[in-house]
Amino acid sequence: MTKMAVLGAGSWGTALANTAAENGTEVHLWTHNPKQADEINQNHTNARYLPNAKLIQTLTATSDMTSAVAGADIVLNVVPTKAVREVAKELAKTLELLDHTVILAHATKGLEQGTYKRISEMLAEEVPVQRRSALAVISGPSHAEDVIKHDLTAVTIASTDDEAAKLLQKVLSNRHFRTYTNHDLLGSELAAALKNIIAIGSGALTGLGYGDNAKAALLTRGLVEMRRLGQAMGAQPETFLGLSGIGDLIVTGMSKNSRNYRAGMALGEGKTLAAVQEDMGMVIEGVNTTKAVYDFATQYKVDMPITAAIYRVLYEGLSIPDAIDELMSRPLKSES
């Protein structure tokens, strides 16, 4: 039987761990909170992150990284971006002590603050190459709240290692959770991070009372920006038309399950960014990603007017109505 360790028992880590356990995989869910591990083991719930969900009884949780990782074929990191490096350091030490090598996957959607590194770059830096046989990312339109209810979901598993991608595919797929493989790790990770920025913008439009035309325009032109930057950075343009691109952009940019969309809505309704972040109680990855991508746009000389407008709203105090007005009054141009 395949054995998997999932690191991070927030909403997404728990939903992915539960899916793999339902498929018959031996899954150990690692959390840094021993009380949360007890709750999962004793009550089969994770009330803070997935209220009302009953988890499968075969899913076990632990706050001991060694017991989670010992003998695992796959380690799947699902902690938020800001915690990835710290958790990866602990993982590297644990694998070294165990003299063990794993397929190292992640499902985190962001870029490291300050360095702007992708998640797989951080993992590769922290976990020595002899301790990982492959790197992979799971990405796509997949709110944990829907996955845990067995709503139909399809995601991408990107890796340059076909065998690793196929093992992950086998472990996660079932009649309600379908997975596709591709080779574009860079594009899948970038698209996953970038769509959160546009989702904040889409939520802001809703918060201000704008309708579906406005959101469709923003998502479409947002996708153009995402693909433009991705191509400049070496990603495959078709990835942006796949599940981790337009697929995730649709779900995050239209759904009240999205923390990024909800954050945008609250900003559109007039709340401050600090208040929005405090009220959410969960990670809003798009806020930090906006800064990284704003700087990337300059570095790679890519025109990203929507991202720039959202950056100025978040970090320079531009009002959202003024940002919209500026975007709508830009010189007229062709669609490309």
Ligand X SMILES: NC(=O)C1=CN([C@@H]2O[C@H](COP(=O)(O)OP(=O)(O)OC[C@H]3O[C@@H](n4cnc5c(N)ncnc54)[C@H](OP(=O)(O)O)[C@@H]3O)[C@@H](O)[C@H]2O)C=CC1
Q: Which residues are annotated as a binding site?
A: 8-13, 32, 49, 109, 140, 142, 144, 195, 248, 258-260, 283, 285
What residues contact 71, with CB distance under 8 A and at least 6 apart? 3, 100
| Range list of β-strands (E), 20-59 | 26-30
Q: Give the span between the Cα atoms of 201 and 310, in whole angstroms.
A: 7
How many residues touch ligand X under the rule CB under 6 A: the total is 27
Binding residue for ligand 13P (CB under 6 A) from 19, 36, 94, 252?
A: 252
Shortest distance, CB of residue 81 to ligand X, whole angstroms? 6
Shortest distance, CB of residue 336 to ligand X, whole angstroms? 30
* CA-derived radius of gyration, the chain: 20
- What DSSP designation does 175 have? S
Question: Residue 260: which of ligand 13P, ligand X, none does it interact with, CB under 5 to 8 A by kind?
Answer: ligand 13P
Q: Is 202 an interacting residue with respect to ligand 13P (CB under 6 A)?
A: no
The answer to whether 117 is a known catalytic residue is no
What is the DSSP annotation of 183-240?
Answer: S-HHHHHHHHHHHHHHHHHHHHHHHTT--HHHHHHHHHHHHHHHHHHHHHHT--GGGG
For 166-201, b/e burial (b = at least 16 CB within 10 A) is ebbbebbbeeebebbebebbbbbbbbbbbbbbbbbb
Measured from the CB atom, is 80 or 245 closer to ligand X? Answer: 80
Q: Is 33 an interacting residue with respect to ligand X (CB under 6 A)?
A: yes
Residues in the chain, overall count? 336
Q: Give the span between the Cα atoms of 291 and 281, in whole angstroms.
A: 21
Q: Is 279 an interacting residue with respect to ligand X (CB under 6 A)?
A: no
Q: Which entry of 195, 256, 271, 333 is annotated as an active-site residue?
A: 195
Shortest distance, CB of residue 260 to ligand 13P, whole angstroms? 4
Q: Is 141 an interacting residue with respect to ligand 13P (CB under 6 A)?
A: yes
Q: What part of residues 285-304 is at the interface with ligand X (CB under 6 A)?
A: 285
What residues contact 11, with CB distance under 8 A and at least 6 apart? 46, 49, 50, 144, 145, 282
Measured from the CB atom, is 90 or 269 closer to ligand X? Answer: 90
End-to-end CA distance of the chain: 49
Backbone angles phi, psi at 120, to 5 degrees: -65, -30
Measured from the CB atom, is 150 or 322 closer to ligand 13P? Answer: 150
Binding residue for ligand X (CB under 6 A) from 108, 255, 289, 307?
A: 108
Q: Is 251 an interacting residue with respect to ligand 13P (CB under 6 A)?
A: yes
Q: Give the span between the Cα atoms of 254 and 264, in whole angstroms.
A: 11
Q: Is 227 an interacting residue with respect to ligand 13P (CB under 6 A)?
A: no
Q: Is 83 an interacting residue with respect to ligand X (CB under 6 A)?
A: yes
3-state secondary structure of 132: strand
Question: Residue 217: which of ligand X, ligand 13P, none does it interact with, CB under 5 to 8 A by kind?
Answer: none
Residue span 275-294 as binding mask against ligand 13P, x where in contact by CB under 6 A, dash where not: ----------x---------
Measured from the CB atom, is 228 or 253 closer to ligand 13P? Answer: 253
Q: Is 248 an interacting residue with respect to ligand 13P (CB under 6 A)?
A: yes
Q: Give the span between the Cα atoms of 333 and 59, in whole angstroms.
A: 54
Which residues are registered as beta bridge partners of 155?
179
* Piece of 29-37, 110-118, 248-256, 267-275 that binds ligand 13P (CB under 6 A): 248-256
Residues carrying an active site annotation:
195
Task: Please give the residue ranges that form the binding site for ligand X (CB under 6 A).
Answer: 8-13, 31-33, 49, 78-81, 83, 86-87, 107-110, 142-144, 282-283, 285
Task: Please give the residue ranges that form the binding site for ligand 13P (CB under 6 A).
Answer: 109, 141-143, 196, 199, 248, 251-252, 258-260, 285
